[in-house]
Structure 1
Amino acid sequence: MDLLLLSNSRNHGQELLAHARDEIDDFLGTVRRIVFVPYALADHDAYTASIASALEPIGVRVEGVHRFPDPGQAIREAEAVFVGGGNSFRLLKTLQSTGLVEAIGPRVRAGELRYLGSSAGTNMACPTLRTTNDMPIVQPTSFAAFGFVPFQINPHYLDPDPTSTHMGETREQRLIEFLEENDVPVLGIREGGWLRVHDGHARLGGANGARLFLRGERPRELAPDADVSFLLHAEPRYDVGPEQRS
């Protein structure tokens, strides 16, 4: 499988995808056309246009999957797909209702389709969307996502602020709460970072590193460019297992 999983699509003070444009260019290689999945936001045309503008400097042509009469056929004819960020619940529900779970999943697993995800799109690469930061504004038929990696990712990971007077849970507390019910690694990728997976290897990218959460252990700091291939051999155990995808 070829995966590039971005924590976010925009860094503070930068244009859309500017922080990861070189990595995207390298990831795509000779592929210069990408099918974009804009279902995590409400305005599909505007979202697709913004991504097209962001990738134009590297000569990548972007086509929105929502514009095809048969979205599944668009995926079957593509060499690369980009699943964008927004609300993870809305994204997964629409992937399910349009048949794109079945269209995208097998081709990515077979190495026939490169998968680029950002934020909610990165959540979709995990077994479930349970470690999303989003509000459940709609109800998917299940929480089961693509499961390209056997661990969970928390995009936009935010470190606890010791000076904050906010009394709600920190991101760290929420992920530890998740691990009280599920035994599966969680990789918290800070903004500006990403995970690159290729040929059985996984490596962090970007400048800010990540935080690894394991059940019964203290959170572990991972440096930028860390090799995290060991996570690809995780054996996740959920309180109710996600459906198996063929």
Structure 2
Amino acid sequence: MNTPANTPASHAMKLLLLSNSSAPGRTYLDHARDAIAAHLTGVDELLFVPYALADHDGYTAKVAAFMDELGIRVRGAHTADDPRTLVEAAQAVFIGGGNSFRLLKSLQERGLVEAVAARVRAGVPYMGSSAGTNMACPTLRTTNDMPIVQPASFASLGLVPFQINPHYLDPSPDSAHMGETREERLEQFLEENDVPVLGLREGTWLRRDGDTLTLDGVPSGARLFRAGAEPVEHTPGADLSELLATEPRFDSRTA
């Protein structure tokens, strides 16, 4: 497991963790434009990590088009033979969404799990969306994605000590779907692991500034799950800093 997110080094961390990158009727990342601009204040060039999708060039170009409107240049991590050199020089890092299993496997193979985590703990701003938000957790175990590849382990960056479920969907009483709801799947996770899980609904995000963690975005907010307790609703503006003191306890058989 990576260095816990509540160590002294965590006081410098600046995180923006988006549930989603696209919203209905809006262009890419536009729903969070103001939050992104504030998070990247003073940044001239952003390092984008595109490994969650297969088309690295196309994905990087999409991010670059948005960031250009903020006056920020974008460099794709895939453009270097050893992307760790780009991480070491990065002013800020953005890991985009896609398939979390493919993303984590790619980060592991390139030595980027440790490299990115170290730079972010040193104070380099980190931004994640969807799978990139999953990567900020201790593990990817609360992703919604299909395991299309097998990473070496489930351990991810560990920038926060709790789990996140991006794109959280509430149960629909009118749905004909007969499989487990998202709530049921997270309850199953908590039968095996004792660590909070924050279900981030579409259009919401978390902002971490050192030891302060705040929920923001659309009014529907987020739903917090804990083992042995009823889920708790949180609305934008909620102070969730207590989650940063979490000591995650996972089933070690699947670390």
Answer whether TM exceeds 0.5 for this pair: yes
Q: 1:242 and 1:174, CA in 2 relative to 1: closer, same or farther beyond 3 A?
A: closer
CA contact (8 A) 1:84 1:121 kept: yes
Question: What letter corresponds to residue 176 of structure 1 in structure 2?
Answer: E
After TM superposition, give the deviation of residue 109 of structure 1 in Å: 1.3
Task: Give me the TM-score of the superposition, normalised by structure 2.
Answer: 0.93
Equivalent residue for 1:126?
Answer: 137
CA distance in 2, matches of 1:198, 1:145: 20
Determine which of 92, 103, 107 is the counterpart of 2:104. 92
Identity percentage over the alignment?
63
CA distance in 2, matches of 1:142, 1:154: 19
Q: Deviations over 1:181-231 (max 9, x none)?
A: 000000000111100001200000101310000001111100111110000
CA distance in 1, matches of 2:40, 2:212: 17
After TM superposition, give the deviation of residue 242 of structure 1 in Å: 7.8
Determine which of 70, 75, 84 is the counterpart of 2:87. 75
CA distance in 1, matches of 2:239, 2:88: 32
CA distance in 1, matches of 2:75, 2:67: 11
Question: What letter corresponds to residue 168 of structure 2 in structure 1?
Answer: Y
Determine which of 111, 125, 134 is the counterpart of 1:114. 125
What is the number of residues matched between the two proteins? Answer: 242
Gapped regions of structure 2 (runs ≥ 5)? 1-12
Equivalent residue for 1:202?
Answer: 213
Determine which of 132, 155, 158 is the counterpart of 1:144. 155
CA contact (8 A) 1:128 1:242 kept: no
Q: Deviations over 1:19-45 (max 9, x none)?
A: 011111100111121000000000000
Runs of 4+ in 1 over 4 A off after TM superposition: none
Determine which of 218, 243, 250 is the counterpart of 1:231. 243
Question: What letter corresponds to residue 138 of structure 1 in structure 2?
Answer: V
Report whether the alignment pairs 1:3 with 2:7: no
Task: Give me the TM-score of the superposition, normalised by structure 1.
Answer: 0.96
